[in-house]
Amino acid sequence: MLERYKENPILKPIGSHPWESKMVFNTAAIYLNKRVHLLYRASDIDDISTIGYASSKDGFHIDERLESPVFSPQSEEDHFGCEDPRISKIEDRLYISYTAYGWTPGMEDGKLRISTRVPQIGITSISVDDFLNHKWNFSKRLYPLRGVENKDCVIFPEKFGGKYVIYHRVSPHIWICYSDDLIHWYHHNILMSPKQGWEYYKIGAAGPPIKTEKGWLFIYHGVSNTLVYRLGFAFIDLKDPSKVIYRHPEPILEPRREYEKEGVIPEVVFSCGAVLKDDTVLVYYGGADTVISIATTPLSWFFELAGL
């Protein structure tokens, strides 16, 4: 098991901030300029999700937290919330994928109408400089695979043959696909399917894969038939993102502490981001959809378990 930080949780809801008064959870994480930056999902009493920002010099103690959200619903596609962000750096831009929960177009009597609520993939980006200077100049929001009920999208932090690659979840599988422009996607294939009992119901990506000398470290979540959320891991081939070279059969984190077992949604550990810092993997995760915590382990531990 990953080792939990003894002072968990590191982020909790703030009652005086209506936008994050009910839930603070499921955070993206990236290590830039010797700081860990978090883009976290927050929810109000009406269950509308926005994205807040916090950061930490050591990765554990939050020493910066903004009072207002940095990314909020602004279109029909994410009218009911911007959920579960993930963040990847490609060259001088940061690409943020998230679950856009809103309306999707439908047809009635041959006419286009706004119809069904659906969670689908949303993507935006921001320059590294603007991000570090807190100038929230996010790009136009894109909705790849528009209208497809979809979650848990991560963008590889590297292109393959000049192409963007994403993992995403059309339940119950993790899928892979490719794009030249982040708009048109092709070569859709299943990467991984539920296999073990702890992931029997469905699986989905945690944060973007982390590049190591032995392969891309890919942390993912699994949901059992009793709806318990756990974390597991696999290694992906360095040159071929469609090739799983190792998949660990057992979970590496499961709900055991009170802040993971009791909350808005009980029995949940759910990660949207991890960083590699000084040869230690820092995994940030939501506990019971209510708070944010951290668990760590040396990178070598993953190599040992995988026999790499």
Q: What are phi and psi of 306, to 5 degrees?
A: -85, -10
Residue with more model confidence, 117 or 275? 275
pLDDT for res 233: 98
Residue 36 CB partners (closer than 8 Å, separation 6+): 29, 30, 55, 56, 57, 59, 275, 277, 282
What CA–CA distance (Å, rounded) separates 9 from 262?
13
pLDDT confidence band for 112 (50 / 70 / 90): low
In this structure, is residue 4 part of a structural domain?
A: no
Whether the per-residue pLDDT at 117 is higher than 80: the answer is no
In this structure, is residue 245 part of a structural domain?
A: yes
pLDDT for res 99: 97
pLDDT for res 105: 64
The CATH number given to whatever domain includes residue 301 is 2.115.10.20
Are residues 234 and 250 in contact, defined by beta-carbon separation less than 8 angstroms?
Answer: no
Whether the per-residue pLDDT at 269 is higher than 90: the answer is yes
Of 281, 214, 308, which Cα lies nearest the Cα of 3? 281
For the chain, give the percent of residues with pLDDT over 90: 91
pTM value is: 0.95
Domain carrying residue 36: 10-306
Are residues 177 and 187 in contact, defined by beta-carbon separation less than 8 angstroms?
Answer: yes
Whether the per-residue pLDDT at 91 is higher than 80: the answer is yes
Instruction: Tally the domains of the chain.
Output: 1
Are residues 41 and 292 in contact, defined by beta-carbon separation less than 8 angstroms?
Answer: no
Distance (Å) of CA 82 to CA 52, 69, 74, 171, 266: 11, 11, 9, 19, 21
What CA–CA distance (Å, rounded) separates 261 from 239?
39
In this structure, is residue 249 part of a structural domain?
A: yes
pLDDT for 18-28, tens place per residue?
999 999 999 99
pLDDT for res 103: 80
pLDDT for 246-260, tens place per residue?
999 999 999 999 999
In this structure, is residue 111 part of a structural domain?
A: yes
pLDDT for 146-195, tens place per residue?
888 999 999 999 999 999 999 999 999 999 999 999 999 999 999 999 99
In this structure, is residue 22 part of a structural domain?
A: yes
Whether the per-residue pLDDT at 106 is higher than 70: the answer is no
What CA–CA distance (Å, rounded) separates 191 from 214?
19
**Average pLDDT of the segment spanning 96-121:** 74
What CA–CA distance (Å, rounded) separates 275 from 284?
8
